[in-house]
Every structure is written in structure tokens, then in C-alpha cells.
Structure 1
């Protein structure tokens, strides 16, 4: 909803900067969360995370009542297809469950293959239903817009790497490098700060130069900064991990919100809400699935520095695919 409102309120010349400031929250939050939660777990226990989340949600709700107002036209014809909602829920949960179990159960077991089959079948029926009914839950036909489809794929690759890296690195530092939860959390803080500073800057660069230099440069930098993590050992200094992670965060900021802005701007305005919902949902799901898959790769390869390195080399491969896509498909417009 936020992205749709930003597109509606800001002129074309300033939408990149506006989305960049929005990216302060969207891109920095998933990275700063391990830092805050690590400190909280060490000092107040893991339950404190949920108390804090409940308090924040309550505060946002209280602030929203006097501040939020309708800025877009509403429609009496708005319709939610309940069956589509159920199919999507079971589909994505099935995939998440199946990939999450890869590292702890046989590939042909019902925990893995069964869950993946249920998820795939539900999503296939969901897609067919969206294309056939008069009021689809999501307008999937907008994927025919080339720029939007490319933006969604780039965002999915990026989120898969972002969330997986932010999950595996603290695990490595605590279990294999001997760091405390607090130290590993502070090591991740550098990336959060760099990403927060970089997002508004990349938004202004997008307004001036378009998506192509940001997408190509960002995916290239992302691939390069993942390579050092492919050589982790039991004795890799924590400060080195923090430095490389901070540089990697610049790459994430170069692509994340500019790609979203570029993709949403390529879709007809009447489909803006569908496009935003698809982009946001699919990149978030890609982050969850990517984390599950890469953690499963790490566990399957020994749950040791070697397994961590192999998982990061797999992420390098994903980043290279994204780089090729950026070179071939991202235009300046």
C-alpha cells in the first residue's frame, strides 16, 4: 500500500527519491533486526522480541488513526476471492515448509516432497483461477509487461540473498567462530547503517540516470562482495565480516528500491495496487524461501565453515544470474 500511495502522491521526477526514503525502512529493517534481537536475547531472553514487536505494532496502530487518510479512489466493486486466498496461503506455506525441511529430512519424504507437491499444486490452481475468474485476487496478466516482470525477478533474487545472508552469518559467527549473540549482532549493524544512508542516495541517482546503471552496478557489486564469504574459516575475523557485509549492503540499496520503482512505474496506473502487491509479496516470499534453501544447503554440506562457504557460493551464482538479467533487460527509461 505504501508504494502505491507514493506513486500516487509524487511526480515522476521525484518518485525515485521518495521511494529511496521509503527504502530506509524496507531495506534496513530486515538487516537491523538481527542486531536488535541479538542484544535483546542476551539481556532479556527471546520472549522480549515478541513483547517489543507487540508494542511497536500497537504504537503504529495508535498513530495511524489520526494520520492516515484515503488518497486514492475507492471502489464499491472491490472483491476478495476467498478460495484464491486459501490456495495462495497453502501454496506458499507448502513451498516454505518443504524447502525448510530439506536439511533435516530425506528429499523424498512427505516433509519435503509432500509439502513441495502440495504447495506447487495449490499455486498452479491459484494461477489458473486468477486467469479465469472475473475478479481475480491478483491481476497476474501484468506480468506481460516486460519491465515489471524483470523488476520482480531482480527483487526476488535480491531478497533471497539478503535474507539468507542475514540469517546464515549470525549462525556462523556464533556456532563456528565463537562469537556471542551480542557480538554477532553488532557485526551486522554496519550493514544496517550503510543501507539506511545509501537508500535515499540511490533514489536520487535513479531519478537522474534511470535503472540500468544501478541494476548492473548493484548486482555486480553484490556478486563480488559475496565471494569473500565463500572462503570463511573457523578463524575469520569478525571485523572483516562486518566490513564486507557493509559493502554488500551498498549493493542491496543500489537495486532494491530502484528496481521496485522502475517496475511499478512501468505498469498502468489502474493496476498499481496489483503490481505493488505482487512485487512485495513475491520478494518477501523469495526471501523466506531463499533463506530456507541456502540454510538447507549449509546443513546438508556439514553445518560447518565448509557448508557456510558452499551456501554463499550458491548465492554468488544467483547474483550472477541477476547481473546477466540486468545487463540484458534493464533499460534506462
Structure 2
């Protein structure tokens, strides 16, 4: 509602913050319910279904959002959600039930909340401002460094608290660490290019927001189909082969993007993105599930919280870093005599190269995963 009624930037930002809090809380809660209700041998498929829900909405976002912006205006991106949320709230009041014992002794450490918000917020703002400005100055450099410093204090506090906000002791588990990194890389691969590609299509190819979103629609459909299938394959074959295949697909799908030009056929753009999405859907939720399965039962909730936090922050920071790379890449050739679209195209090429490197790192790390024990 705040976003729909916003008359200035700060009210719009406030509305987005409320949405972010809700989304950040809901996804780990849904995954905790799965951990309680389903045994390990069935979690892959169920997590695949959840991955479909989590990823399919944002995948359709560029198409639906582009049509809304072109035809109704920006504020209706928020307005169209209001009746849907009211309906969901009404259904939840009568149908949602607790599935585990409530611990009323658990208290939120508000200093940890403040530290995490300031640390991650400063880090994200610093990278974003560097991308927008196309240069590092005293202000954005100082904010970025302070973000790192605050996060160090946040981690130190979590290790000292008896009941921390995020139990960092879960990172003592080798498999959990490795799969959390792989899941985070897959989230960077998903969210970063999902943001960068529509901008590339609009700025370099001159498409409208709706047309750019439409180019991503085949990938959204394939993502929805692939996610539960990948979950079933994980239950049957384990994570190592699945992760290697998934990251290999991401690499192959990203390679053509490094050679895009303003004259590149749009069918190739849509095809490369769609093929790449298959790999992301193959990797994301199975690696996440494997990490949770590696933990003892008493650390499931803490592991879910920690892995979800890392994955979401990695996606946000990865997107900010890619935007920064685009700005630097475009500025690098700005002195040459070329059209603006060609200058921007160089920036996007660097961003796609960075995405390729991320995928390559994920592929190499997948060799350290363990084979499924029969």
C-alpha cells in the first residue's frame, strides 16, 4: 500500500523495505515447515516444488511487470498486489497451523538485527553507488568499508551469544559450507542476469519494458518445469552429478552472452537465457537441500536461516557488483567514437563475463561434493 500511494522516493523506499522484510521472513519459514514434515529421502522433490514457487514468480516478474509499467504505470506494480495479499491473509487465518513446538523462551537480539541491517545495507549501498557513479569516491568507498567492519562485529557477536540471531556454528560442517556457496552462486547467476538482461535489451536493443520481459518468458516456463524434476533427480542420484551437470549448462548458456552485440538476433538472446535457466533450476534448491540434510536435526532451523541469509545477500550483492561492472565497462570505452548502444554493450559484455566466471567457479567446486551413498 505504501508503494501504491507513494508520492516521493522515500515513501516508495519504505514500502519496498516492508516488502523485503516480509519476503525475507516467509521463505525460510516455508523451508522450515518442509524440514519438519518430510524425511530426507523426499525433501529434494518438495524443495523443488518450493523452488518453483520461489523462482517462478520473479521469473515472470519482468514480463508481467513490463506490461504493467507500459500500460498502467509504476504504482500499479504495488496496487495489483494489494487485493491478492488480502485474500492470502484471509486464507491463512483459517487454514495455517503450527507444525512444531513453539519455544517461547527464544528472544530476538535486537543489537544483532541492527548490526546485520547496517552492515549488509551499507555494503549493498556502497556497491550500488559505485555502479551508479561509475567510479569509487570517498563516500561510497567509506560506506563499503564500514559495511565490512560492522559485519565483522555482527559475526563476532553471534559467536558470543548463547542464542544468536544467526547460529554461525553451522559453518563448521564441510558439506553445509560447500553447498551453501554453490547455492549462493546459483542465486547470483539467477538474480543478476535476470536484472541485467532486461536492461541490456532495453538500452542496447531499444525494446520496451514489456518486450524485454517477454524475451525472458521462455526461461521462466522452463525454470518452473525443471525445478521439481531436479528435486526428484536429487532424491534418486544425489547432489554431485546434478551440480556438475547444472553448472555445465549454466556455463554453456552464458558463453554466447559474452559475444552479444546490438545486432544479435533476439531469438538467440532468449534461447541462451532459457537454456541457462535450466542449469540454475537444476542446481539451486538441490544444493540448498543437501546442505540442510548434512546437519543434525537440532541445527536444521539454524542452518536454514544461515543458508537463506547467505543466498539472499549473495544475490543482492552479486547484482550490485554486476551493475558496477557494467558502469566501469561502459566508461572504459566512452572516449572512443561509437554509438551509446555500442558503449553500453561493452559494459554488459563484461557483466556476462563475470557471470561466466561465477558459473565456472561453481562447476569446479562441485567436484568436491560427495557422491550419494547407496
| Residue 281 (structure 2) pairs with residue 253 (structure 1) | yes
1:74-89, aligned counterparts within 5 Å?
Answer: 74-89=102-117
Q: Secondary structure at the match of 1:164?
A: helix
Superposition deviation, residue 278 in structure 1: 1.3
User: Within 5 A, what are the aligned runs for 1:183-198?
Assistant: 183-198=211-226
Q: Does residue 1:140 correspond to 2:180, yes or no?
A: no
Unmatched tracts of structure 1, length 5 or more: none
Q: In terms of mean alpha carbon deviation, does 4-13 or 311-320 score higher?
A: 4-13
- Partner-residue secondary structure (3-state), 2:234: helix
CA displacement at 1:107 relative to structure 2 = 5.1
SS of match in other structure, 1:46: coil
**Residues 101 and 111, structure 1, Cα contact 8 Å, conserved in 2:** no
Contact 2:44–2:289 (8 Å) recurs in 1: yes
How far did 1:330 drift?
4.2
- Which gives a bigger RCO, structure 1 or 2 (Cα 8 Å, sep 6+)? 1
Q: Indicate yes or no: 2:358 matched with 1:318.
A: yes
Query: How many Å apart are 1:162 and its aligned residue?
Result: 1.1
The match for 1:70 is: 98
Residue among 50, 75, 80 paired with 1:47 = 75
| Cα distance in 2, alignment partners of residues 104 and 18 from structure 1 | 40
Aligned pairs for 1:1-333 within 5 A: 1-105=29-133, 108-302=136-330, 304-333=344-373
Count of matched residue positions in the alignment of Structure 1 and Structure 2: 333
TM-score (norm 1): 0.96
The 1:70/1:37 distance shift into structure 2, 3 A limit, reads: same
Scaled by the length of structure 2, the TM-score of the pair is: 0.86
Deviates more, 1:187-196 or 1:63-72: 63-72
Q: 1:96 touches 1:289 (CA, 8 Å); kept in 2? A: yes
Q: Kindly provide the CA deviation profile for residues 11-46 of structure 1, in whole angstroms up to 9, marking residues without a partner as x.
A: 222111111111111122222111110011111011
The structure-2 alpha-carbon separation of the partners of 1:91 and 1:42, relative to structure 1 and needing over 3 Å to count, comes to same
Q: Is the 8 A contact 1:219 1:319 kept in 2?
A: yes
Contact kept in structure 2, 1:97 and 1:111, CA below 8 Å: no
Cα distance, 1:151 vs structure 2:
1.4
Contact conserved, 2:62 with 2:210, CA < 8 A, in 1? no
CA RMSD between the two structures? 1.4
Quote the residue 2:340 is aligned against: none
